[in-house]
Amino acid sequence: MTNTALIAMLVSKGVITTTDLGTGGALNDKQADRFIDFVIDETNLKQMGRVERFRNENMKVDKIGVHSRVTVPAEEARDPSVRRGVTTSQVTLTPTELMTPFELSTNFLENNIEGEAAEDTVVRLMATQMGNDVEGLYIEGDTVGRAALESDIYEGGSSTQYIKDSLMAKFDGFLRQADSAAQVDIGGSPISPSVFSQMLQSMPNKFRRNRKDLVFLVPDDLEQQYRERVSTRATGAGDSALNGQANLTPFGVEMTPVSLLPFNPTVVEHITFTGSGSTVSLRYDNLVAASMIVTPTTLAATPSTPHVLTTDYTVDYTAGTITHAGGGSAIGATATVKVTYQSGPQIILTPRSNIIFAIGRDITIERDRDIFARMNQWAITTKVDVVFEEVTAVVKGYNIASSL
């Protein structure tokens, strides 16, 4: 993702240097395309979906298809009197602008062991991390806005109070968008051939006719669990799973491990109690124990202390339910609260080209100087979005056990 991994690559390979940028940092078309090419090469984007480059604020991707029967009986010398057509529509990408701002003091630049090369090194590191951040947004973004420890977002932040993760709330990533697709509840069973079989059977036939075009997107650790299961077989496939590096292909569909797809993804939802002591079912069950954080829906940038387990609410992590604690609770009897928790592993099945990662060509890497503070100031800016071209061609498998 990473116009950023790209900046890293461009800087490290001499395509762009800090001295070349000066105070203006808009990449020209050739630099931007090289930047995006590097991004694709250095991330999982090619394996997960396709990349679209855009220039305008919004980009529309045209779709064309046939959704019903087009063939009719033919009779000699007679017009069938009917004509069939195609269905056209568009997918709209609305790019979101993101920035990585940072500063380097003159003292640091003068005293570090790398000397003048330190600035290029820091820019490369910042660009690489920006790429990781954007990839995480592509995957786990949720506009509801998860609660996060302030210390997980900002160095030196509180390790007990929570804020809204504003980056991850910029748009819905493909895990959240897949909630509108076909759903397969694995019911807490471990990863096995049955999981992949159920998901394939839940996909419409027209999308699974050519299995070479399909891909199972799985977390790294879940792929390892399945590889371990297959490796116990006294067969060539077992030896290959144990000793080989090629991706496994359950039922002829490639299983692609995605490094930044969390083994236990973070889920956030707003739920409303119906009265004192009432119980509400969450989106998933078999949750990760002790992972739940309950806060007001108004949670924002100001650090806030979360509601207290047992005192304000109780949780059944296996059943995936939250219960109002009753009269002594600080939560109103019919209040709506933000619930953030971790679910079991999830898998996405889709045609490989169905996930569209949009990366803007209007990329800037800008540098300025605060002469009074004696600081070099940097800002790396890009625009991104992600969308399924056809959500009916997506299957999400969830409630998978975390161990074999």
Please report, for the chain, the start and end positions of each structural domain, with discontinuous segments joined by +.
Answer: 3-61+92-152+356-387, 266-342
The closest alpha carbon to 390, from 357, 358, 351, 346, belongs to 351
Q: What is the pLDDT of residue 235?
A: 84
Q: Which fold has domain 3-61+92-152+356-387?
A: Major capsid protein gp5 fold (3.30.2400)
Q: Cβ neighbours of residue 78 under 8 Å, at least 6 residues apart?
A: none
Q: Which residues of the chain have pLDDT under 50?
A: 1-4, 6-23, 65-66, 86
Q: Is 229 exposed, middle or buried (0-12, 13-18, 19+ CB in 10 A)?
A: middle
Q: Is 43 exposed, middle or buried (0-12, 13-18, 19+ CB in 10 A)?
A: buried
Give the Cα separation of 354 and 368 in Å (integer): 40
* Bridge partners (DSSP) listed for residue 379: 101, 366
Q: What is the pLDDT of residue 158?
A: 95
Number of H helices, E strands in the chain: 11, 20
- Taking residue 159's Cβ as centre, other Cβ atoms within 10 Å add up to 9
Q: What is the pLDDT of residue 92?
A: 79
For residue 311, CA distances in Å to 149, 299, 324, 329, 359 come to 21, 20, 9, 6, 46
Tokens matching residue 306: 């979360």
Asked whether the whole model's pTM tops 0.75, one would answer yes
The closest alpha carbon to 33, from 358, 362, 361, 359, belongs to 361
